[in-house]
Structure 1
Amino acid sequence: MSFLELHDIYKSYFLGKEEFPVLKGINLSFDRGDFVSILGESGGGKSTLMNIIGGLDREFQGNVTINGQRLDHSKEKQMDEYRRGMIGYIYQSYNLINHLTVLENVLVSLEMTKLTNKEKHDRAMELLKQVGLETQVKKHPNQLSGGQKQRVAIARALASDPQVIIADEPTGALDSQNTQEVLAILDQIAASGKLVIAVTHSQEVADYGTRIVHLADGVIESDTRLKEGYPLQNGGVQIEDRPLPSSSSYKTAFKHLTYNWKQNSIIVLGTAIGIFAVLLFSGLGNGIKAYINDQVNSLANPNIVTVMKNVTDDKKTANTQRIEQTRQKLQTDYAHASISSDDLKKMTTVKHVKKVQGIYNFAASSLSLGSKKTTAAIQSWSVSYNEDVIKSGDKPGKNEMLLDKQTAALLTDKKAKTLIGKTINVQFTAVSKQGLPVPVTLALKVSGITDGGQAGAINAPTSATVKEALVKAGASTNYMAAVALASQTDDVKQVAKGLNQIKTDGKRAFVATTIGSILDTINTIVNLASYVLAAIAGISLIVSALMIIATMYMSVAERTKEIGILRALGESKRDIRRLFTSEALFIGLISAVIALGLAYGLGMGVLNTALYGIAKFNMVQISIGNVVFAFVIALLISFLAALLPSRKAAKLNPIDALAAD
């Protein structure tokens, strides 16, 4: 039994319904140690026969057996394994991969073996030494002569130790000297126990082998043995093959990306700018939220709950709407919209309430000192304020008040703290128990200076001082609001819930809100704005995705022959898909890294420095979550963009791909 046998091989091509037979019942057998030349003119079926032997052409009739085992050409996985472990190709046009060096072109085939990395490198170097190219290993194919390229192709064909070497017009593009050298190498390969099958139309080349099979019009005209085949050598273990590891696809993809960096850098930069914009707006949203939280928490005690009277029976009304309705009601029906001392007692019964205080707030109050006069809002001092707002002096006592530095600047030409200890006149309008306006006047000593910052001016006497003045003026002493101090921060939500559940005459009595709920509302608005801005920036990512798609399709077109080479070497469709998706993922990864550098350099560096002088706060704060999101979205967009081009690449017919220009 021969090593390789062909039985009744028929092959036709169709143009519409018209059939064009190419092979018309080929029966051949081959043994190792033979150098067989398939001789014939162009169009005689030589290349088609070689593609069938090499496992590239799967659409034919007949049987091919190797070592007594019939090959099933309908099973793609079996054909990939067959080409990977049994076949080595040498082409007339060399078919080297341009973006790989001489050494890397040989290593491509070795990546599908079980050799260690050192063994692969050593074998590739040894083969290149055998073909006289050990000093050219770092060159690329475009730096080699035709003879040198063919030698690289021979080394690559031998790399994985295949048993069958198929040489398609191996000397067609070579001069006479290189032709003789290449034929001598092929003869040495046959002498080493391999089966060498050379397709040629040259009688001179055919005469160099051990056997000539003349093929004309799809039939064998003659089969002539020139000399006996070489005896098989004993010993030696064939290199074991394996499917291509994913790491090899990643390495090849990265090499191609860097080899064509000028072209790919534009895509990388465009994608990076889109990701940078998303990162910047996300970081800006984080910074604004942090700034608002910082400002509010620096002014207010986070353990307090603000309480106002509930004036609506509509259960569907949100707390923010209830508060606004109460404020409006205070202007027209003070008695029912204000909080009494009895109301304060009810609040103290709620679990985890440590202290309750009534609050007075008069928006348009007149403050005067000598000839200086201004209008400002005053609100009674309570546990809701953070004492950090007092920049000079102390908390107010009886007949004292804190004066905001902005208000103080309108009452003196000197520094604000010079007003500490001075007495100012305060006038505002309250409401009598009958609902009539009542003017209230009192003289208050300035106990300290506050700085409300972005939150607004804080002019604050004590509630007791204001209440005493209201009594003297005959005005209602009911409070406009109240604050409840929770025992600890973890109890704040529970306290608010308890206060909202208090009822009077079967109806909800109060509207309780916390700093946390206010901040939640503000943060929701900030988040929404950030998402809108990020979404606008995300449009550039869509453009980037389209650019990657276009780049990948161009890459498939430019690398069609490379795809055919890799398939001929035994790579599967999945390997080809992974090659292109890997390159796209590298584009996404590098883009994300550049975007991160821009975000930290321009955003958290330059922009924060510029804004710090205004707000005294880092307004761009990029979190780890933002960074992770940026990398995930970059990789996801790149992967999705590469799916269609990579599928197109994987579906290419290896024969058509090899024939591409």
Structure 2
Amino acid sequence: MALMTLKNVNKYYLSGSDLRFHALKNINLSFNKGELVSIIGESGSGKSTLMNLIGGLDRDFEGEILVDGVNIGTYNENQRVMYNKEKIGFVFQSFNLIPHLNVLENVALAMTLSNVSKKIRVERAKKILAEVGLEKHYYKKPNQLSGGQKQRVAIARSLVNDPEIIIADEPTGALDSETADQVLQIFSEIAASGKLVLLVTHSERVAARSSRIVTIADGSIISDQEYPENQVYHSKEHLSRFSLTSRPKNRNLSFFAAMKLAFLNMKEKFSRSVLIALGGSIGIMSIILMLSLGSGVNAYLTNLMQEQVNPVVSEVRMPEPEEQETSNSSTSEITGDPTGMPMDPAQNSPVMRNDNVPFEQSDLETLENIDGVASLEKGYSTFSLGNNSIMYNDRYRSFMNFITMSSMITTANLSEGEFPQEGEILITQGIADSIGEDSIGKEVTVTLMMDGVITETDMVISGIFASSDAVGPTAVFDSIYMNYADVEAIAQANDIELQPNVVYLVAEDAQANARVKEEIKTLGYQGSAMESIAKLFTDMIDIFTYILAGVAGLSLFVSAIMILTVLYISVVERTQEIGVIKATGGRKKDIRRIFVSESFLIGVFSGSFGVGFAYILSIIGNRVVEQQFGTTIFLVEYQFIVMGMVISILLSVIAGLLPSVCASRLDPVEALRHE
């Protein structure tokens, strides 16, 4: 049985909307192993069209092309791929070598697409290259070879998978006569190894070396002659030279092989690849820096707050009555002449007061019974403008914030002196400055408004509260601190029924305190004003951080468009390469995988550059800020790095999908003709 048989093969091309051009007309041919056949004819006669049909590059025909008795016109996609991998080897007129691969890699391409192990494909490629006289040129690039050497590389590539049929399109068209004779001798030896060699040519010189000449004109076979004097004879010597002793199992292109092909192409266009990666890195760097800035500022505020308060103590206040809510403050009120200015509290001047809602006994019992609470401390605080003041000799200073001492306050809050004992107070630095030097130990007169009653009492200053680093009202307003027992004594002396309006719950440990805080919210009570203000700041910082990160993210959109454009350009530049890959058994999926791998690598490099730049700039920024303000504000967390890398890769891969699909859909015949 003949190796290949063509039965009534017809090929039509659309010529206009309804017209069809009859390119091949009732072709009937039969070919056997070991033949060296020249298919000759003028340009436009149909010989290249016939070659494309036989090679499986064009499946749109009528009739039958039988190979080993099977009609290749009925092949599905996978069968066509295996046909190109195992049965057919192409040698192109313009060589169609891939410029960014060396000689060895070009020859091994078909085995790379078949996912053959590196050891086997390298050994096979070297063996075939040695047979065609190129054993000294394994690692040269195609542009370092002569025309004859390039054609030998193309021949070696067609032989590497040990196909049964070799199709050569004008194999000597670009060669001088001496080199052409050498190439024709190689084809004769290939035929002698038992392979069918089809030379598509218009050269009489090539035809004269063939054992059979098929002449085609206007799409029809006009002659089919054999030349016994040129008949090649099989020999074991030639068989061992060009054939595989054992055929490795053909599989599909692996992800890592596709990645290597993509990397080699990027390496060939190194400058362009670096610029693309740098362009994409700007957005990644900006997003990481913005998130790091927000995280750093939040961490600074959190640490600062934790330094100011005891981590096992929770501050609790009663919820504000809904009916008292106003646009300014839930319990604020203005009294006195609205046109006047705050003066001595004894005068009738405008004042503004904010008193917290007092606790009932039932509330205290409820809070004290929360699981994890070790003890409960009563407290009293008030915020007032124009009511409270402190007097030393003839020096008068009003203050706005009055708070009782509690376990919430730690030694970190003390800049000078000691915590107050009975009859003593703690003041902030602003009040201390108004009194003068050495304010500690001085006796002062404190005027307080409690439950609408103005009280006066003499107290001794025990220390100065470190308000310069505080978070909350104390950081802004002058404040004094007094023991609750002293407040009770003042209330009793002025016939005031004192009820605590703030409570401090001391938890068993820090973990228990976290649970206590959650339970406080669940029961409907309010937490620390300091925590509320800090949370407000952190929420605002988060909002601004995400807004800035979103603005920075716009550059990622520009990067995606840039990557998509560059990959489209790459598809155009590599059109012939795509045709070669398809002709040597590459699947559409393989083409997509190669281009997606390239976009993946661009994403990896962009992300890496972005992360690196962000890290370096954060170090520089932190050093500058630390020198100026004694703190750091950029906190690059590992999740930001991971997120930056993931965004960069996903964006690049998504941008590369459309060009990769376009590349995979290219017609191999048209791709091979592309200049």
> Does the CA-based 8 Å contact 2:376-2:503 persist in structure 1?
no
- Paired position in structure 2 for 1:87: 88
**Alignment equivalent of 1:635, drawn from 634, 638, 649:** 649
> Does the CA-based 8 Å contact 2:331-2:355 persist in structure 1?
no
Q: Secondary structure at the match of 1:337?
A: coil
Post-superposition Cα deviations, 1:97-117, rounded to whole Å, max 9, x if no partner, equal: 111122221121221346431
> Cα gap change, 1:107/1:336 in structure 2, threshold over 3 Å: closer, same or farther?
closer
Post-superposition Cα deviations, 1:213-240, rounded to whole Å, max 9, x if no partner, equal: 1111111111111123422647733454
> Does the CA-based 8 Å contact 2:377-2:406 persist in structure 1?
no
- Paired position in structure 1 for 2:406: 382
> Does the CA-based 8 Å contact 1:438-1:474 persist in structure 2?
no
- Paired position in structure 1 for 2:51: 50
Stretch of structure 1 that moved more, 113-122 or 379-388: 113-122
Q: Does residue 106 of structure 1 match 2:107?
A: yes
Q: Matches of 1:117 and 1:549 in 2, distance apart?
A: 32
Gapped regions of structure 2 (runs ≥ 5): 336-350
Deviation at 1:282, TM superposition (A): 1.0
Task: Give 2:539's aligned amino acid.
Answer: T
> Cα gap change, 1:336/1:515 in structure 2, threshold over 3 Å: closer, same or farther?
closer
Post-superposition Cα deviations, 1:634-653, rounded to whole Å, max 9, x if no partner, equal: 11101110111111111110
Q: Matches of 1:390 and 1:186 in 2, distance apart?
A: 96
Summarize the alignment of residues 164-175 of structure 1 with structure 2, pairs less than 5 Å apart.
Answer: 164-175=165-176
Q: Matches of 1:214 and 1:513 in 2, distance apart?
A: 98
Q: Does residue 468 of structure 1 match 2:482?
A: no
Stretch of structure 1 that moved more, 640-649 or 237-246: 237-246
- Paired position in structure 2 for 1:145: 146
Q: Matches of 2:309 and 2:520 in 1, distance apart?
A: 20
Q: Secondary structure at the match of 2:180?
A: helix
Stretch of structure 1 that moved more, 233-242 or 180-189: 233-242
Stretch of structure 1 that moved more, 120-129 or 548-557: 120-129
- Paired position in structure 1 for 2:255: 246
- Paired position in structure 1 for 2:289: 280
Q: Matches of 1:29 and 1:335 in 2, distance apart?
A: 106
> Does the CA-based 8 Å contact 1:160-1:241 persist in structure 2?
no
> Does the CA-based 8 Å contact 2:352-2:384 persist in structure 1?
no
Q: Matches of 1:129 and 1:147 in 2, distance apart?
A: 15
Q: Does residue 423 of structure 1 match 2:424?
A: no
Q: Secondary structure at the match of 2:330?
A: helix
Summarize the alignment of residues 200-215 of structure 1 with structure 2, pairs less than 5 Å apart.
Answer: 200-215=201-216
Post-superposition Cα deviations, 1:258-283, rounded to whole Å, max 9, x if no partner, equal: 21121222221111010000111111
Summarize the alignment of residues 592-611 of structure 1 with structure 2, pairs less than 5 Å apart.
Answer: 592-603=607-618, 605-611=619-625
> Does the CA-based 8 Å contact 1:305-1:515 persist in structure 2?
no
Deviation at 1:443, TM superposition (A): 2.6
Task: Give 1:359's aligned amino acid.
Answer: Y
- Paired position in structure 1 for 2:342: none
Stretch of structure 1 that moved more, 212-221 or 609-618: 609-618
> Cα gap change, 1:139/1:412 in structure 2, threshold over 3 Å: closer, same or farther?
farther
> Cα gap change, 1:63/1:129 in structure 2, threshold over 3 Å: closer, same or farther?
same
Q: Matches of 2:470 and 2:456 in 1, distance apart?
A: 29
> Cα gap change, 1:512/1:448 in structure 2, threshold over 3 Å: closer, same or farther?
closer
Deviation at 1:64, TM superposition (A): 1.6
Summarize the alignment of residues 574-585 of structure 1 with structure 2, pairs less than 5 Å apart.
Answer: 574-585=589-600
**Alignment equivalent of 2:315, drawn from 302, 306, 321:** 306
Summarize the alignment of residues 356-371 of structure 1 with structure 2, pairs less than 5 Å apart.
Answer: 356-363=377-384, 365-367=388-390, 369=392
Q: Matches of 1:207 and 1:189 in 2, distance apart?
A: 17
Deviation at 1:390, TM superposition (A): 2.2
Task: Give 2:481's aligned amino acid.
Answer: A
> CA RMSD for the aligned pairs?
2.9
- Paired position in structure 2 for 1:505: none
Q: Matches of 2:313 and 2:569 in 1, distance apart?
A: 63
Q: Does residue 445 of structure 1 match 2:454?
A: no
Stretch of structure 1 that moved more, 110-119 or 190-199: 110-119
Post-superposition Cα deviations, 1:452-488, rounded to whole Å, max 9, x if no partner, equal: 5042446422222233334445556344433222333
- Paired position in structure 1 for 2:36: 35
Q: Secondary structure at the match of 1:179?
A: helix
- Paired position in structure 1 for 2:217: 216
Q: Matches of 2:161 and 2:260 in 1, distance apart?
A: 19
Post-superposition Cα deviations, 1:186-228, rounded to whole Å, max 9, x if no partner, equal: 1111112211111000111011121111111111111111123
Stretch of structure 1 that moved more, 523-532 or 562-571: 523-532
- Paired position in structure 2 for 1:60: 61
- Paired position in structure 1 for 2:571: 556
Q: Matches of 2:615 and 2:604 in 1, distance apart?
A: 17
Summarize the alignment of residues 332-347 of structure 1 with structure 2, pairs less than 5 Å apart.
Answer: 337-339=357-359, 344=364, 347=367
Q: Matches of 2:75 and 2:128 in 1, distance apart?
A: 34
Deviation at 1:593, TM superposition (A): 0.6
Q: Matches of 1:295 and 1:94 in 2, distance apart?
A: 71
Task: Give 1:398's aligned amino acid.
Answer: E
Stretch of structure 1 that moved more, 70-79 or 6-15: 70-79
Q: Matches of 1:501 and 1:561 in 2, distance apart?
A: 70
Q: Matches of 2:458 and 2:431 in 1, distance apart?
A: 17
Q: Matches of 1:128 and 1:497 in 2, distance apart?
A: 76
Task: Give 1:355's aligned amino acid.
Answer: L
- Paired position in structure 1 for 2:343: none
- Paired position in structure 2 for 1:649: 663
Deviation at 1:248, TM superposition (A): 1.3
- Paired position in structure 2 for 1:530: 545
Stretch of structure 1 that moved more, 59-68 or 464-473: 464-473
Deviation at 1:606, TM superposition (A): 0.3
Task: Give 2:407's aligned amino acid.
Answer: V
- Paired position in structure 2 for 1:123: 124
Summarize the alignment of residues 4-23 of structure 1 with structure 2, pairs less than 5 Å apart.
Answer: 4-15=4-15, 16-23=17-24
Q: Matches of 2:664 and 2:51 in 1, distance apart?
A: 22
Q: Matches of 2:614 and 2:43 in 1, distance apart?
A: 62
Q: Does residue 618 of structure 1 match 2:617?
A: no
Q: Secondary structure at the match of 1:575?
A: helix
Deviation at 1:7, TM superposition (A): 1.3
Stretch of structure 1 that moved more, 140-149 or 542-551: 140-149
Post-superposition Cα deviations, 1:364-402, rounded to whole Å, max 9, x if no partner, equal: 543455676544434222122233222443322112223
Q: Secondary structure at the match of 2:427?
A: strand
Q: Matches of 2:531 and 2:126 in 1, distance apart?
A: 69
Deviation at 1:290, TM superposition (A): 0.9
**Alignment equivalent of 1:570, drawn from 585, 588, 595:** 585
Q: Does residue 255 of structure 1 match 2:276?
A: no
Task: Give 1:399's aligned amino acid.
Answer: G
Identity in percent: 34
Report the TM-score, using the length of structure 2 for normalisation.
0.88
> Does the CA-based 8 Å contact 1:378-1:460 persist in structure 2?
yes
> Does the CA-based 8 Å contact 2:170-2:201 persist in structure 1?
yes
Q: Matches of 2:31 and 2:354 in 1, distance apart?
A: 109
Q: Matches of 1:327 and 1:137 in 2, distance apart?
A: 88
> Does the CA-based 8 Å contact 2:314-2:513 persist in structure 1?
yes
Stretch of structure 1 that moved more, 352-361 or 251-260: 352-361
Q: Matches of 2:573 and 2:3 in 1, distance apart?
A: 38
Task: Give 1:203's aligned amino acid.
Answer: E
> Does the CA-based 8 Å contact 2:331-2:356 persist in structure 1?
no
Stretch of structure 1 that moved more, 400-409 or 334-343: 334-343
Q: Matches of 2:262 and 2:100 in 1, distance apart?
A: 10
Task: Give 2:507's aligned amino acid.
Answer: A
Stretch of structure 1 that moved more, 529-538 or 142-151: 142-151
Summarize the alignment of residues 221-232 of structure 1 with structure 2, pairs less than 5 Å apart.
Answer: 221-227=222-228, 228-231=231-234
Q: Secondary structure at the match of 2:651?
A: helix
> Does the CA-based 8 Å contact 2:317-2:356 persist in structure 1?
no
Gapped regions of structure 1 (runs ≥ 5): 503-507
Q: Matches of 2:264 and 2:465 in 1, distance apart?
A: 67
> Cα gap change, 1:328/1:556 in structure 2, threshold over 3 Å: closer, same or farther?
farther
> Does the CA-based 8 Å contact 1:308-1:323 persist in structure 2?
no
Task: Give 2:605's aligned amino acid.
Answer: I
